[in-house]
Structure 1
Amino acid sequence: MSKDDNIISLIDDNGKEQKFEVMATFDIEEDEYAVLFPLTKEESEDGAYILRIEYDENGDFVLVNIEDEEELENAVSVYEAIVDEML
């Protein structure tokens, strides 16, 4: 797998395309999550994004913002634990 296989494009709220590298995916119970890092310098200053992975009626994955603060905090904690284990 090449690095380009981990690059995805998302459209922001303003209709502007942004490119991200998928750095990791992980599961918490029944839910799947993806950790994305922006490839543009302006966006990269914001750090990583963690989004929930869901699937549409065709079985294609869809990345969804995590609205629930507790769910987001849990996802961040799990990702940080994964990173700590790798170091």
Structure 2
Amino acid sequence: MDNEFNVDLITLISDEGEEIEFEILDIIENEEGKFYVLFPYYENPADAVNDPGEYYIMEVFEKDGEEELAEIEDDEKLDRIAAIFEENYYNDDEEDEEE
């Protein structure tokens, strides 16, 4: 049996030009738009020990026909999208426990 787990990764470039890899935890699409829920990716799990464990939600917008990601400026929108993600995440965990 193959227990290998593959993650979906995306590389973002910081304002300082640094490339940072993130795992895509979820993609949420609703009437407010399309959003990526991201968590910093560490190739070596030991490197994740000092990570605060925060996830990031980025809004998708189109620029010159390409998808780009941007921080959500509206705190209320951010809270709504975070609530959707957390509900989905915890519901998935409960379903996994039932199996």
Q: Give TM class, smaller chain.
A: 0.7 to 0.9
Please report the TM-score for the alignment, with normalisation by the length of structure 1: 0.81
Distance 1:17 1:65 in 2: 16
Alignment partners' CA distance in 2, 1:43 and 1:73: 25
Q: Distance in 2 between matches of 1:55 and 1:44?
A: 31
Moved over 6 A (4+): none
Cα distance per residue 1:3-40 (max 9 Å; x no partner): 36x21111112221111111110112140111111014
Count of residue pairs brought into register by the alignment? 84
What CA distance in whole angstroms lies between the structure 2 residues aligned with 1:12 and 1:20?
12
Aligned residues with identical type, % of pairs: 27
Task: State the match for 1:27 in structure 2.
Answer: 29
Gaps of 5+ in 2: 43-47, 94-99
Question: Secondary structure of 1:34's partner?
Answer: strand
Quick one: which of 57, 71, 91 aligns to 1:85? 91
Higher Rg: 2
Which of 48, 63, 66 lines up with 1:56 in the alignment? 63
